[in-house]
Structure formats: C-alpha cells, structure tokens
Amino acid sequence: MVEGRPRIVFVPYPAQGHITPMFHLAHAMHHQHGFESILVNPNFIHNRLIASSSGATEDNHGVIYANIPDGLHDGESIDFFAISHAMENHMPCHLERLLKSFETVGGVSCVIVDLLASWAVGVAERCRIPVAGFWPAMLGTYRLISGVPDMIYRGLIDKNGTPLQEDATNFIKGQPKLNPEELPWLIGSPSSKRSRFAFWLRTIDRCKSLRWLILNTFHGEETNTENSLSSPRIFCVGPLPTHSPTPTLWSEDGICIEWLDKQSPSSVVYVSFGSWVDPIGDDKVAELALGLEASGKPFLWVLSTAWRSGLPKGYLDRVKGRGILVSWAPQREVLGHDAVGCYLMHCGWNSTIEAVERGKRLLCYPVAGDQFVNCAYIVDVWKVGVRLGKLERREVEEGVKRLMDGCCGDGEGGKMMRRVMVLKEQMMGRCGRLGADAELNAFVDALANWTLD
Ligand code: UDX
C-alpha cells in the first residue's frame, strides 16, 4: 500500500494522439484526486517533449515525466515496427526497474496502460501492482477490436483479419455501418497488414486479464448501442478536458494565430491530418491543394515538409495571402478561433473531440485505424460533417462550399452548425465535471477497494 501521496504510473503508446489524452488523464488524477502522476515515455519521445516545449522539465503542470531506454539509435527511422520492437524487447525490463525503484518510497497504487502499449500490462502484474487499461478513443472502436476473436469464431473474418462477409463489420447492434475494407486493422501497406493484425491479436490477448478499462469517451456518443461488456469494468471519463496544457512532440508555429486574427469570422478552412498518418501520396496532396484553391476560401493547412513535394508548381505564389502552410499548429487554439469555419480532417479521435468542443463542422477524409469508425459517427450519427469520397479537387471544392456557405441559414451548413452546437453542449455537460467526474470518482473508489486475487 502506498504511504503518503498515492502514486500512479501512466504508460502511453509513444505517439502524439496517445500521449495527449494520457497526459490529460494524469493531470486530472493529480489535480482532482491528489495522486502523484508519473508519465513514462521512451527516451526518443521524452527528448522530443523536452526539445519542443521550452518550459518542459521533470515536472509539468503537476505531471512528472519519467523516461526509460528504448534501444533506438539517433537517426534511425522510427515507424510502427521500430516502436513495436522497442516496446517488446527493450522497454519491459526498464519499466520493471522503475516500478521497483518506488518500493522504498511508498510504492505505486496503479499502473494505467494504453492498450496499444499492452506490453506493460504483464510488467505491472509481475510487480503485483493493480493495472488498468486506457483506450484513448471511442467505445465503438474498442468494441470492434475486442470483438475480433468472436468475429473469427463466427466466420465473419478469417484468422488474418480479412472480411469473409459483406456485413462483417456490422455485427455490433446500433453501430453505424462500415465498409468491410474499413476495419481498423486492415488499413496500411499490404505488406504490413498481417503484422498489424498480429499486433491487435496480441493486444487483445494481453488485455483479457484487465479488470478496469478507462476510455476517453462520453456517454451519449453512441446511441442505441447495446452494452454487452461485463468485463473489464468500463469507466467513460471523456472527453478529458482539452483546455489544460498539453505536451507536444513538435514546436508549434504561432504565426498562424496572427494570420487568423486578420481573417473574417467563420471564413477559414483549417486542414490537418493529425500526427500519425501514412503519407496520402503526392497526387492526393495536389488534388487537395487544387480543391482548396478552387473553393475561393482562405485556408490554414498543417502540411509537414515531407508531404510538400505534392504541391503543384507555383502553387504557393498563387495562393499567397489567401492560404498559409505550417508544419505544426497550436491546434486547440486554432480550432477555438472565430475565424475558423470548418475543419478538413482525418477523423483522429482527439481532433474530433477538440473540434466539436469548439463548435466546428467537419469535412472528413479518414485514412487509417479508428478514423473510419469516428467518421461514421461524425457523418451518419451526429450529422455534423460531410465525408469526401475521394480526395479529388472538385469534391474538395464542393465539400468546402457545402459546409461553409450559410452557417446561420436553413441550408445544410446551417443545420450542421446547429447540430454541432447541440453535440458540444452534450459533450461539455460531461466534460463540465458532471458525468465524467462521476466516472473518474468511481474508478478511484474501485482502486481504493482493490484486493489482490
Ligand atoms: C491517432 C488516431 O488517428 C486517433 O484516432 C487515435 O485515437 C490516436 O492515434 P492522430 O493521428 O495523431 O492519432 O490524431 P488525433 O487523435 O486527432 O491526435 C492529434 C493530436 O495532435 C490532437 O490532439 C491535435 O490537437 C494535435 N495536433 C495536430 C497539434 O497540436 N497540432 C497540429 O498541427 C496537428
């Protein structure tokens, strides 16, 4: 048992979209529940967090950063496979050493592990410390992923995850429809599909023992779904507040806020594909660029240098003054700006929450993983966005106009605007420390009553 201030160790998956919500959870556990919150990252992430945020130290807004060796070398390209290798082969013994180092100073009350970092579940169990899972996305995706063994058993998918039936994805009652090729584990290069699916099978298997699962999701996000999940016990603590400070892996380019200040209200299209998307290819970048140009609207586009080779010749000169490109934006500030009228996005879950909380309508082009499920909710359930079928210039132009023209009238854009404001109210009600707080309290109670089997 922990003496003095109880301590929780948080283990995120090492990517921005996972570190962000885990940090917000650690922040809430510290400030609302008095825990000492320790966020553990591999060295390559820790070094970037320190480098990108000038103020980052060992203690960040009450969250203590700890780092462990990852076996990665300077200059090595760090992709999904390099990270998986580091997580499986290098990080477990270092986490174990870190957890044991707390034994002389009161121990650890709980280890909270992102399901994508499931390697850490066994480490916490070996140290006989209570462990909870954390799913940074929506309940709908968790249901789909945790339903994989059942889907294989029922012959809906084969043992490599390939759909065998047209309605393979639609076995969960009340979920919006997905195309079979949009199952979260099917997206990515064909050569990597098998290993990605193996990653998910390993995750599901390791998480079978979890007693608790914390989700960055909010009640009411999914209407008419049956909650058939009895184990693990689910705590929907989301949306975690996105207004507290967030560590970022890249330096934010503040120039875009000065530029937004000069634009008219609701006039700008904000474009960003998050932090962790396979390149969409030069031809699609070109189509997107031409569609934005043809829409005639001002735009702010987060486009990394690696993707800029797709821009048409002379493009930047042509759109000068009307469009700006940055490598990394202070996204939550951008989405909160009055000048932003809609958000052309990849449907990452954090970005979805951030946009709805700030009352922005969405133009969707999902690319990978859970983004297709999120998109189905945005477009078909909540009806606060439009999906681009193809990333083709005319579709982009039309999509932007559909959303942006008439944000107050009775047209499509106006209706979406009203719906997004209702959804925002629904979300903020939870976020406003009512339901979300009750769930977090329930988790803290469960932890206090934990007994070793
Ligand atoms: C991925 C998946 O897409 C997401 O659905 C899953 O839940 C987590 O892993 P990512 O692709 O990074 O995440 O997207 P998203 O979840 O939207 O997170 C991106 C984060 O980066 C957001 O919090 C966003 O505010 C931030 N961001 C993005 C910036 O701060 N600046 C930018 O310029 C772009």
The DSSP annotation for 35-79 comes to PEEEEEEEHHHHHHHHHHSTT--SEETTEEEEEE-----TT----
* Ligand 1 geometric centre to CA of 17 (Å): 4
What is the pLDDT confidence band of residue 453, given thresholds at 50, 70 and 90? low
Using the mean position of ligand 1's atoms as its centre, give its distance from the Cα of residue 331 in Å.
Answer: 9
Q: Confirm or reject: Cβ of 21 under 6 Å from ligand 1.
A: no
Give the mean pLDDT of 261-279: 92
Give the model confidence (pLDDT) of 22-59 as tens digits.
Answer: 999 999 999 999 999 999 999 999 999 888 765 555 56
Measured by CA distance, the residue closest to atom 3 of ligand 1 is: 348
Q: Atom of ligand 1 at shortest distance to CA of 137?
A: 7
Integer Cα distance of 83 and 89 in angstroms: 10
Could you identify the atom of ligand 1 that is nearest to the CA of residue 370?
Answer: 5
What pTM does this model have?
Answer: 0.94
Q: Is ligand 1 within 6 A of the CB of residue 328?
A: yes
- Report CA(451)–ligand 1 centroid distance (Å): 36
Q: Which atom of ligand 1 is nearest to the CA of 351?
A: 17
> Tens digits of per-residue pLDDT, 336-394?
999 999 999 999 999 999 999 999 999 999 998 899 999 999 999 999 999 999 899 99
Q: Strands of 273-411 (E only): list them.
A: 299-302, 323-326, 340-345, 361-364, 385-387
One-letter amino acid of 119: W
Is residue 180 scored above 90 in pLDDT? Answer: no
Instruction: Count CB neighbours of 112 within 10 A.
Output: 26
Instruction: Calculate how far, in angstroms, residue 156's C-alpha sits from the geometric centre of ligand 1.
Output: 31
- Of the candidates 14, 13, 12, the one whose C-alpha atom is nearest the C-alpha of residue 38 is 12
Determine the residue of 249, 275, 374 to mutate for testing ligand 1's pocket, defined as the one with the most ligand atoms within 8 A of the Cβ atom: 275
Mean pLDDT of 216-233: 61
Closest Cα to atom 20 of ligand 1: 17
**Beta carbon of 334 within 6 Å of any ligand 1 atom:** no
Give the mean pLDDT of the chain. Answer: 89
pLDDT of 272: 97
pLDDT at 61 (0 to 100): 84
Closest C-alpha residue for ligand 1 atom 34: 274
Evaluate if residue 178 carries a pLDDT over 60.
yes
Query: Is the CB of 24 within 6 Å of ligand 1?
Result: no
Q: Is the CB of 307 under 6 A from ligand 1?
A: no
**Confidence at residue 3, expressed as pLDDT on a 0 to 100 scale:** 58
CB-based contact 121:206 (threshold 8 Å):
yes
Highest mean pLDDT among 96-100, 387-391, 407-411: 96-100
What pLDDT is attached to residue 269? 98
Instruction: Looking at the CA of residue 332, tell me the nearest atom of ligand 1.
Output: 25
H helical segments located in 220-342: 255-261, 282-295, 315-318, 331-335
Closest CA to 346 of 296, 411, 301: 301
Reply yes or no on whether the pLDDT at 230 is more than 60: no
Pair 287, 312: CB distance under 8 Å:
no
Determine which residue's CA is closest to atom 23 belonging to ligand 1: 350
- Tell how far the Cα of 275 is from the centroid of ligand 1, in angstroms: 5
Of the candidate ranges 117-131, 153-167, 226-240, 363-377, the one whose mean pLDDT is the lowest? 226-240
Q: For the residues 207-222, what does the mean pLDDT come to?
A: 82
Percent of the chain at pLDDT above 70?
91
Residue 358, phi-psi category: left (phi > 0), alpha (psi -120 to 50), beta (remainder) = alpha
Decide the pairing of beta strands 299-302 and 323-326: parallel
Cα of 179 vs centre of ligand 1, distance in Å, is 23
Residue 18's closest CA among 130, 93, 109, 112?
112
CB 276 within 8 A of CB 246: no
Residue range 72-98: average pLDDT? 90
The single-letter DSSP state of residue 349 is: H
At residue 407, does pLDDT exceed 50? Answer: yes
The conformational region for residue 63 under phi > 0 = left, psi -120 to 50 = alpha, else beta, is beta
CA distances from 405 to 342, 358, 395 (A): 10, 19, 15
Average confidence (pLDDT) over 79-94: 92
Across the range 281-288, mean pLDDT stands at 95
Amino acid identity of 288? L
Q: Give residue 345 CA to ligand 1 midpoint distance, Å.
A: 10
Residue 348, ligand 1, Cβ within 6 A = yes
pLDDT of residue 362: 98
Complex ipTM value? 0.98
With bands split at pLDDT 50, 70 and 90, how would you rate the model's confidence at 225? very low
